[in-house]
Structures are given as structure tokens and as C-alpha cells.
Structure 1
Amino acid sequence: MTESPTVDGADDSVGDDNRPAADPRGWALPRTVSVGELGPLDDPISEHNGQAIAVRPLKNHPGWLAKLYRPDQHPEDADRLDLLISAPGTLPEADRALLYTGTCWPAARIHAPGNPAVGCVIPKAPEQYRSELRRGEFSERRFVEIDWLAKSDESIRGVGLPPPGFAGRLAACRRLTELAAILESLGLVYSDWSFSNAFWSPDQRSVYLIDVDGCQPKKMADLHQPNWADPLTPPGTDADEYTDRYRIGLLVAKCLTGRRDAHAFHTVAGSAWQNQPAVSEVLLDMLLATDRERRPSAAQLSQALNSGPYLRPAPPPTRTALPPLPALPTQRPAPKPPAGSHKPVPKPGPTPPKPPEPGPHAGWILVVVIAVILLFVIAANH
């Protein structure tokens, strides 16, 4: 990926003019539009999700959505949106095309009297990111979240999706880190790297990043997600590029290994893991470096995933120990029945007397009786 200027270097006047944006996605709309200029809005496809009160399709422009924000947004959001909308113009052509095809990058800011940031116009995710998911006797066609890559091939096959194998996982993670590297080159913090903010296409082996209109230059409020907390970003402090590096590393580690817990760390640390030693070293430095500012960049991870080298700095970053593996589930003893629930056990009746056993001389007596009978028989014959 080619280095490019950050959005901080963009001409501030770009966001103020209303010339059509150089956007190849099929609609040359102005950079700023009023709600009325969008035409009628369809029923919401999403409501009260994060900073948005609703996401509504534009009836007159198929494939485009109006993302409408809560009214309590920060007054500077209009300027921030203008910077995001103009940012692709600062990128090399290949990176700009990747940003447009791999994310729902905002195309225009929506304004209204007294509110300069009602929302933004974004493209709808391509249909290739929908698949039929089977669950028992039922099936549903829906967007496939990247969450599924953090599961085993057997689990993926079980819902009717083609299992990716390592090659498919690697291809998806390459695209993911290429997008992360572009955001980092623009000086933008995303913060919200997690399972729910990217779609995965098993057939195309690609990913599509959503909610990118929330990106902010340099730093932003740290968006807490369970199991995604950066151990070196204290609670209450802002997320920055180093927070992003940890989270993109964690997301890639989980998607590459198909594991969600500490097993992902241990799998990555395995000797000559999947014949990807450079990938292993970059990920371990991203996840375990004791100095957050020495975490490798997204571009370095992208290079390693594309079979390039990883040149560790000298001295190399020190690492913390691998997190402990989850304890195996223990077998719980059978619960005791509540008091008073025992059935009365019947008392045993009297034991019947045993028949007398033959004494030690019983055998000789029998022999004598048989002998006497024989003598009588012999005598009678004479």
C-alpha cells in the first residue's frame, strides 16, 4: 500500500464546496445534501444502533442509504464528516478503489436547518456478502458477519457455508488488514474492530467494513466491546492508533485460527505455525508487546500476510507471557435432593432361617446304608 497524506493535510475548503465527489460508486451526488434533496426514505432497515437512530434506504436511489444520527451529536461532527468524505481524494488510485469497494465509506453529509450533521449518505453493502444460513430445519438469507471466521470449519459447514480452510481465512484477513492500513495512513482511528462490524463473503474470500463514518482523526472515545479491551489502554482514556493495532491484531488472530479465546494466542505462537513465521511474529508483537507504542503497524501485518518480511526493530519489543488457557470444565457432582424430598426406605423384614447344612459325618452314614442294602440283596439271591 502506498503512503498517502492524512486527512489533517486535506484542504479545509474541500468540505465547503458542493462539487460532485469523485466517487465511482454510481451516483455523483454533492458532498452535502439536505434531507429533502434525497427524496423519499423507505422503512428503516436498522434502528437505534450506536450513534444512529435509523438507517433508511433511499427510494429514488437503489443501493444507497441515509444514516440518520441522534440529535445529541457533537457540533464538530459536520467538519469531521466533511474530512472523511474528502479523504479518498488524497489516496493513490488503488487505495481509493479499495476503500470504496471494501467499506461503506460516506459519500455525502446530510444537513437540515439548525443541524449541519443530520447524518450521512452511505452505500448499501454488496449482495455478495449475503448467504443462506441453515439452522436446523430453518434457513435465512442474511449478511454473514466476520464472526463466522472465528469458528471452526466444521461449524461453518454446519450452517451451509463453504468452509474457508486456511487459504480462505488468509485471503479475508489480507483484505481486512489492507483496509486497516489505509485508515492508519489517513491518520484515522476506527476503534471498533470486532466481529459485528465487518461482513465476510465465503465465495469471494473478501470482507466489507461498516460503520466507518464514525472514524476520527488521531483519537476518539474508546468503544468498549466485551473481550476486545486493550490491556494497555486504561479505561476512561481515548483510543488511538495503538489501540487500533491491538484490536486489528486480535481480530486477525481469531479469524486466522478459528478460535475465540486464549487458544488463538497459543495457536499463533506455535512453532512454524502454518508456515507463516512472519505473520506469527507480527501478531505476537501486536498482542503482547509491553510498550503499546512499539506495536507493529497495520501495514506491517498486511505485508506479512502477503508473504513479505517482518523486520523486527532492534532491540525487539519485550512481550508479556501468553494468557493462560481456559480451564477445562469440571464435572459437577449430582445435586442433592431438597430436604424432605427423600422417599421413606422400607425397613427390612425378618430374615428367614437358613436350612441346616449337612454335618461332616453325613457322607459316611450314606455309604453304610447303601452297603447294608447291598448285603440284603445278595442274601436274598442265595
Structure 2
Amino acid sequence: MTEPHLIDGADDSAGAGPAADPRDWVLPRAVSVSDLGPLAEPISEHNGQAIAVRPLTNHPGWLAKLYRPDQHPEDAHRLDQLISAPDTLSESDRTVLYAGTCWPASRIHEPGNPAVGCVIPMAPEQYRCELRRGEFSDRRFVEIDWLAKSDESIRGVGLPPPGFAGRLAACIELTDLAAILERLGLVYSDWSFSNAFWSPDQRSVYLIDVDGCQPKKMPDLHQPNWADPLTPAGTDADEYTDSYRLGLLVAKCLTGRRDASAFHTIAASHWRNQPAVSEVLLDMLLATDRERRPSAAQLNQALNSGPYLRTAPRPTRTELPPLPPQPTQAPIRQTPAETHKPVKEPQSAPSKAPDPGSQVGVGWILVIVIAVILLFVIASNH
């Protein structure tokens, strides 16, 4: 479930200390609150499903994410499934998942409450950078929404501009993680700017809030600007909702545009070595049948210079939905002095059609000239 990322970088996977790996600390799949030892002051409170996120004093690099007491009765079982899910993956996929997400390592319980929360690793320090704004600077976690801005904007806060290569590398890592969740049969739903960090130096991404994943479907919480047009309000999010939101996030990060112009940039792009990328993204975003949206694995393959094999023929041009209108520039506001200036009427261009009246006038002039010449000749002979 979505948890708003705090402006100061204090979210459910942030904090001081070294990054953690679920294999570095051997702990049971379920622990009691007392087993964790003392908890430090919260770095985040009352965000989404969590009442607090607190570092473990005796285990640097780890956090206790404590849930609200009104969680679903089956949430304990769902958490146990999430914690065990990486065991079904290949070793390489497990490595990618642990390195790129704050995957839950243990369920926290206490008497009368089997799902107090979960133990998760902190985000690695590589995702924290110094952001410069005028005379001030702030070291904080860099959210992935910076990739949905121009290189000039990114350079303006002191970060190295990614260029297309850096954007592509980050989107490949993002879709790597999405494809793994897809293989696990999990719905994430929270593909948006605030739920992933970006490392400009490492060209990598880190996904947070993954402890909210659910198998096959989950409640589709409203996310402004991320609503799936083919998922009716009040219905669950599923793998096809994930496909749309992932495509939207990748399109914005790859183009550096966060409005409708991203669609037009994608449509006009023929990226070298990635000829299938624009086709996959447009099918994700503009499909009229949600079940024919490409998968995360197909997008990842295209980003890695692979082919795109459609499961159905492409619709004809007339059957494709139109691109959303591009943003229009705001009208230029006149100063008070300018509002009193007379406005000149635009001059119409001269007509290209011949004017009959003018042709007649020219004919009479020719007749008069010829007559004068004849009279002069007759007078000369006499």
C-alpha cells in the first residue's frame, strides 16, 4: 500500500547506518517484539499502513516497521508468504531482489496480534545524495521522480545528469525488479515516483514498500496522476494495472517528461539498439484491451535490446486510441500599459485569383495606346 514519502527522506526504508542484506543477519521468519531488543526513536510515523518505523538499536541497518492495529486478520499469513517467496527464485533473481528492494525479512508478533509489523533493511547509502538548492544543500534520498525531469533540471541541483544511457540503465533495473515480482505472482500496484529511489552514480534503483505486495490482486488505492483508465474505480488492482503503471513510470523516466508530452516523445522515438521499446510502451499505455498489455518481462527484454513478440496483431491506426493532448502553453499576460495599445488588425494576404475588373482596365489601355500609334502613323504619311 502506498505510504507517502517524507520530504526529509525519513521513510520506511531510510535511516542512518550501513545497508543491510537479509542474508547477513540470521533471524527467524517470525520474531516477537521483545526479541528485537530496544528500538530507537521513530524515523517515520503515521504513514499509510504503518504507525511507526523504528531502527533496531542492536542491529544497525535494520528497521522495525510497525503496522496499525486494524490490519486484515490474514495479513500474518500474507507476510509469511512474502518472506518465504524469494526461496522459490533462482540465486541470481534472489540477489537482484534483495539488492534492489527493502524485502521483509521477518514478521513481528506479540500475544494477541500475529502481525505487529515486519523487519526490513534500510535503503543503502548510495541512494542518498547532496541536493543543492540555491545557497542551501540537503543530503537526502533521491526519489526516482528526478528522472522524470530534464538533464538541465537534474544538473541544477548538483546531481550528475543521467543522459539517455543513465535513464536506460535505471529503467532496466526497475523492470528487472518488476519482472521478478511478476514471476512470483505478486501485485505491487504502487509504481509511482515516491516508491523508488535512484542512484545517479550507480545508475541503479531501490524499490520500497514491497511488504504491501499481495498475490494476484489487491485493493486499488487512488493515486493522483497514476489512475489506470481501464481499471474501473472500486475494482482491484492486478497484473494488468501493474503493467500500465510500470509503463507510465518508465515512459516518464526514459523521456525526462512527466506530462502528456512523454506519450508523444515515446511515439516519435526510434532509439538506437532499442527499436522495440517505444512499441512495448505504447501498447502498455494505449491498449484498448487491458489483458493484452505487455508484461514487465517483455518491457525488460525490449530495454535490453531484445525483440518484442506480440501475442496479438497490432490494431490498425484507426483502431488505436488517440494520444493524449500535449500540454498547451499558458497565454502571455499583458502588462497594464500593453492592454491600452491599439491592436492592429492582421492584413490579409493578396488574393491569387485574377481580378476581372483589373483585366478589363488593362485591355482598354492597350486599345488606346494602339489607336494613338495608328493616328501618328497616318499623320506622318500626309
TM interval, short-chain normalised: 0.7 to 0.9
Q: 2:38 aligns with which of 13, 30, 40?
A: 40
Q: Could you tell which deviates more after superposition, 268-277 or 279-288?
A: 268-277
- What residue number does 1:252 align with? 250
- What residue number does 2:330 align with? 329
Contact 1:105 1:212 in 2 (8 A): yes
Alignment of 1:366-377 (within 5 A): none
Deviations 1:239-291 (A, max 9, x none): 00000000000000000000000111000000524553200000000000000
Alignment of 1:76-225 (within 5 A): 76-225=74-223
- What residue number does 1:287 align with? 285
Deviations 1:267-323 (A, max 9, x none): 000052455320000000000000000000000000000010001233225531110
Contact 1:267 1:273 in 2 (8 A): no
Q: State the Cα RMSD in Å.
A: 1.4
Rounded to whole Å, the distance in 2 between the matches of 1:275 and 1:319 is 26
Cα distance 1:271–1:131, how it changes in 2: closer, same or farther (>3 A)?
Answer: closer
Consecutive aligned runs of 4 or more in structure 1 exceeding 4 Å deviation: 333-336
Deviations 1:177-232 (A, max 9, x none): 01000001111000010000000000000000000000000100112111100000
Q: Could you tell which deviates more after superposition, 314-323 or 176-185?
A: 314-323
Is residue 2:230 matched to residue 1:232? yes
Runs of 5+ consecutive residues of structure 1 not aligned to the other structure: 1-22, 337-382
TM-score, L = length of structure 2: 0.80
Q: Secondary structure at the match of 1:230?
A: coil
Contact 1:285 1:319 in 2 (8 A): no
- What residue number does 1:304 align with? 302
TM-score, L = length of structure 1: 0.80
Runs of 5+ consecutive residues of structure 2 not aligned to the other structure: 1-20, 338-382
Is residue 2:317 matched to residue 1:319? no
Contact 2:107 2:115 in 1 (8 A): yes
Q: Secondary structure at the match of 2:168?
A: helix
In our comparison, the structure showing a higher alpha carbon Rg is 1
